[in-house]
Amino acid sequence: MIPEIKDILNKINSIKFALDGYRPFSEHVVKQLRDYYRIGLTYTSNAIEGNTLTESETKVIIEDGITIGGKSLREHYEAIGHAKAYDHIYTLMGRHISEEDILFLHKLFFQQIDFENAGRYRQKNIIITGTDYLPPDYQKVPELMKKYIANLNTNVEDKHILEQASDLHAEFELIHPFTDGNGRIGRLLLSILTMKNGYCPVIIPPIRRAEYITAMQKSNKGDLNTLRAFVVSVIYEEMKSLKRLVESLVR
């Protein structure tokens, strides 16, 4: 383990230890946190992919059903679909994740955008713009996803769970199993794994988009440490935020 990553992991675990002192959270705290991250995760994950909705616009669309002038229908559907997929992840916390779970998450997110391909692995080869990485042949996707799901449900004893979560995110994005929506579903799966283990969702601020994309591109070429360092750094920042939120709610 790289010393810098180990140092941040120690800081994260220290915050987690403090948060564990408040667990189990009351229903009020759980609801407040779920609603908070519903907006935050939807806004940031969509923004990473180029959606131009602001956080406040995302909130209005999701919570009030109001359309925003000057914004595309697809951007509205991305906000609504991601929020639906986010709501569903809480049903997956107490058990292993199945292939059907992942396909259903994609269907929830993508069904208003592209009904034909929602909840289905891609049926053709694709390229990823802005990178020289070519995803595997579409015929290999089902087999690769079975291996990924097995890894997703297996703890690696000699690897910190947050490092494992980062590596699994890299694996999912390498496969790129869907025609579209891979980044958003991949980040939801990343957050499921961190949340199942007592950590916060993985919120990637739009201001760090270029850094994230660079780390992902390096992981495509076998460098997993850059992505690990990035993931634990954003988790560290969000864990500090989560601690402040919890402390304000339990007063």
Residue 122 lies in a domain: no
Q: What pLDDT is attached to residue 251?
A: 79
Ramachandran region, residue 151 (left: φ > 0; alpha: ψ -120 to 50; beta: rest): alpha
* The pLDDT of residue 1 is above 70: no
Q: In this predicted model, what pLDDT tens digit does every residue of 172-226 receive, in sequence order?
A: 999 999 999 999 999 999 999 999 999 999 999 999 999 999 999 999 999 999 9
Q: Rounded to the nearest 5 degrees, what angle is found at the Cα of 147, between the Cα atoms of 142 and 153?
A: 125
Q: How many domains does the chain have?
A: 1
Domain that holds residue 109: 3-117+127-249
Question: Is 82 designated active site?
Answer: no
Residue 12 lies in a domain: yes
Query: pTM value?
Result: 0.96
Residue 159 lies in a domain: yes
Return the sign of the alpha-carbon dihedral for residues 131, 135, 138, 141: negative
CATH code, domain carrying 161: 1.10.3290.10
Q: What pLDDT is attached to residue 131?
A: 84
Instruction: Compute the distance between CA of residue 102 and CA of residue 161 in angstroms, rounded to an integer.
Output: 20
Q: What pLDDT is attached to residue 130?
A: 80
Counting residues of the chain whose pLDDT is more than 90, the rounded percentage is 94
Which residues make Cβ contacts (< 8 Å) with residue 216, sequence separation at least 6?
Answer: 170, 173, 227
